[in-house]
Amino acid sequence: MSEDLNIIQGTKEEQYQSLLPQMKGLLEGETDLIANLANVCAALKEQFNWLWIGFYLVKNDELVVGPFQGPVACTRIKKGRGVCGTSWAERKTIIVDDVEKFPGHIACSSLSKSEIVIPAFKDEEVVAVLDVDSTSLNNFDETDEKYLIEIIKLIDFN
């Protein structure tokens, strides 16, 4: 497997469609969860260059920051707190067009303007969330949700 990603220009949809099979190749045959989460973040960063891309892992009834790309972030988030803790508690994707309008948003970086958080499930339980932050308002929509869910499905949360 080549570790070089083919980064393309194009619509958001085209970018995800180019990235997905490459992501599959990157994860194929590797069972180490941290390695896979790290490569997913790096690949998304390379293609989209968002401000912050990372996983928070559920540990002892808290979210603890895992592999990420971007500025340093808060380490622990309680269930129901911030966008990440709300996504975990409500077991659903949350798209925030303007972080200043989300009550209880946890600002890890003042540069973050919009955000998407997607829960990852194993045996019906939320085991992690994928959090992506952008420096632009209104950056994320259903296309991001659809493809980021596809990407999360490639990961074996063993």
73 near ligand SME (CB under 6 A): yes
Nearest distance from C-beta of residue 78 to ligand SME, angstroms:
10
Give, as ranges, the residues between 53 and 72 that touch ligand SME (CB under 6 A). none
In the list 26, 44, 58, 108, the residue contacting ligand SME (rule: CB under 6 A) is: 108
Cβ proximity of 50 and 73 under 8 Å: no
- DSSP assigned state of 99: G
| Residue whose CB is less far from ligand SME, 22 or 96 | 96
Q: Give Cα separations from 36 to 97, 116, 157 (angstroms).
A: 28, 20, 10
In the list 33, 40, 41, 83, the residue contacting ligand SME (rule: CB under 6 A) is: 83
144 near ligand SME (CB under 6 A): no
Candidates 31, 46, 56, 22; CA nearest to 131 is 56
Question: In this chain, which stretch among 6-14, 24-32, 101-109, 137-145 interacts with ligand SME, using CB under 6 A?
Answer: 101-109
Instruction: Name 32's Cβ contacts closer than 8 Å, sequence gap at least 6.
Output: none
Kindly report the backbone phi and psi dihedral angles of residue 42, in degrees, each rounded to the nearest multiple of 5, phi listed first.
Answer: -65, -40
Question: In this chain, which stretch among 17-25, 28-36, 74-82, 139-147 interacts with ligand SME, using CB under 6 A?
Answer: 74-82
106 near ligand SME (CB under 6 A): yes
| Residue whose CB is less far from ligand SME, 26 or 73 | 73
* H/E element, 117: strand 114-122
